[in-house]
Structure 1
Amino acid sequence: MSDSTPIEHASSDDRRIVELAKEYFRRVDAGAEDLLDLFTDGVQFYFPKFGIGRGKMAFVEFAEGLQKLLSEAHHDFSNYLFLPYGHFLAVEGTTEGRTPSGKTWFGGRTPGGRFCNIFEFQGDLISRVHIYLDPDYGSDDRARFAWGTEGREW
């Protein structure tokens, strides 16, 4: 189910978890202190270069480290793909933002910025979120562009 596609045929549970994921992205972008209110106490999460974390305090540690990599980041979920399956939700989308060194990325137009999140919900709370992306937002790791960057579609 794409956000730009009407979801009137989706179940109420599907619509509910999509709205919860959107609220997660809103709070992440705002740096909202109440982001943790969306999680179970034992939330499990994964992020490349961090690994698997468990619990709200581990998520705070992760968020503090991520703030060192990003000056700003924004999720525009108007074109995201939301794929609900029971109490799971896969979300494919893009971000844009700026690194502390001033480099910008625009998911879909630059190498950095595409991601996929897999959420699991317990009622109205996120019990698991695994985030799959390349954390090289500014494309600084040039050596691993084995196929080059010219003529590529991102």
Structure 2
Amino acid sequence: MTLSKQSMTDEQRKSVALEYLKAFDHGGVTSDGGSILDLFSTDAQVYIPKWGIANGREEIGKLFGDVGATIRSITHDYSTFNWIFSGSDTIVAEGTSFGVHRDGPWRAGVPDTGAGRWCDVFEIRDWHITRVFIYLDPDYAGKDTLRYPWLHPERTGE
């Protein structure tokens, strides 16, 4: 028996990425009732700022557990997504979200400097995510202001 690998279309890769994002909105459960981890290859990588790179499903599960424990609810704004297709296994999704973090609510654009804007770079092969690097500010509730003078006018002497 030989291993057969078919190339995927951009729309097929997009469908896997959407399933992943929708699983976040449903507490890590996919549309067929499976685990979000089932969407990943066994040797996949996931990166998120302030956590680092998780290698393999076990570490990815730890990353999602650590980050997910801080989020009470999340909803992605699917109608506003921008998709970039590279003609290879890589696609990029840029979008917004809103929800409730353990430190408080967030919504993209409220304020403009706040959380809710993100960009994910996916590599998807054979119906599995092999890599997703998540670019967002993990300070969902916008509490980390003292270290940034432009967010805390009292520190700038104004």
Asked if these proteins are the same fold (TM beyond 0.5), I'd say yes
RMSD: 1.7
Is this contact kept in 1: 2:101–2:141, CA < 8 A? yes
**Once the two structures are superposed, what CA deviation does each residue of 1:18-37 show, in whole Å capped at 9, x if it has no partner?**
11111111112112152111
Match of 1:127 in 2: 130
Give 1:94's aligned residue: 96
Q: For structure 1, list consecutive stretches of 5 or more residues without a partner in the other structure.
A: 1-11
Could you say which residue in structure 2 is the equivalent of 1:59?
60
Deviation at 1:107, TM superposition (A): 1.2
Match of 2:121 in 1: 118
Amino acid at match of 2:115: G
Deviations 1:93-132 (A, max 9, x none): 111111224x111013331111110000112110000001
Is 1:24 the equivalent of 2:23? no
Structure 1, residues 40-73: CA drift from partner, whole Å, max 9, x if none? 0001110111101101111110111112221111
Is 2:107 the partner of 1:106?
A: yes
TM-score (ref. length: structure 2): 0.81
Which residue is equivalent to 1:5? none
The aligned length equals 138
Deviation at 1:149, TM superposition (A): 7.4
Contact 2:118 2:136 in 1 (8 A): yes
User: What residue in structure 1 maps to residue 3 of structure 2?
Assistant: none
TM superposition score normalised by structure 1: 0.83
Whole-Å separation in 2 of the counterparts to 1:125 and 1:117 = 15
Q: What SS does the aligned partner of 2:149 have?
A: coil
Matched residue of 2:23: which SS? Answer: helix
Q: Where does the alignment leave 5 or more consecutive residues of structure 2 unmatched?
A: 1-7, 154-158
Where does structure 1 differ by over 4 angstroms across 4 or more consecutive aligned residues?
none
